[in-house]
Structure 1
Amino acid sequence: MGTTTRYRFRDYTVRAEADPLTLPTFTAVCVTGDERDCGATSGDVHSPDELVRWIAAHCAQTRHGLYERTTRETVCAEPGAWR
């Protein structure tokens, strides 16, 4: 005879706003290219304006026009009731 195992899980609420104690990070990667992407990256910056300046500078140097932008924020998960 087999044994039965029960697991209980908690409901979690994730707040939509970012954690006020951490800074968001922004990153851009140049994806311009026919055969392959350029791949130049801004690295992590902490303001949208700083990211725009990096994109503008890279575009001015290379004439590349396509970028993938990523925004990361730390959010809080709050445990709720067990179910």
Structure 2
Amino acid sequence: MTRRVFRYVPYVIAQDASAAPEYAARCVSGDEKDCGAESGVCGHPAEVEEWQRRHTQETRHLRYRRVFADYAVLTPV
């Protein structure tokens, strides 16, 4: 019988500073179905917020699904 030894190694999870986070929004206003208009991927939340303001001015839509994505790295403690 072969013996194996498993060792617990603690890690810290942190946002990867070498990759920029991404922000986006999609309009989910509508009675029968979502509007579906999308902001596209932006590099800063203010860009998405400005897109939402413009879309609301044009359409009076008020409900959005916002998305944030980033990269994470694990490093041993």
TM-score bucket (shorter structure)? 0.7 to 0.9
Selected match of 2:48 from 46, 51, 76: 51
Q: What TM-score does the superposition give when structure 2 sets the normalisation length?
A: 0.81
- Cα root mean square deviation, aligned: 2.0
- The C-alpha deviation readout for 1:41-60, integer Å capped at 9, x for no partner, is 00100101101100001001
Q: What TM-score does the superposition give when structure 1 sets the normalisation length?
A: 0.75
The residue identity in structure 2 corresponding to 1:65 is: L
Distance 2:66 2:35 in 1: 14
**Unmatched tracts of structure 1, length 5 or more:** 1-5
Identity of counterpart residues, as a percentage?
A: 38
Distance 1:12 1:56 in 2: 44
Count matched residues. 73
> 1:28 offset after TM fit, Å?
0.1
**Unmatched tracts of structure 2, length 5 or more:** none
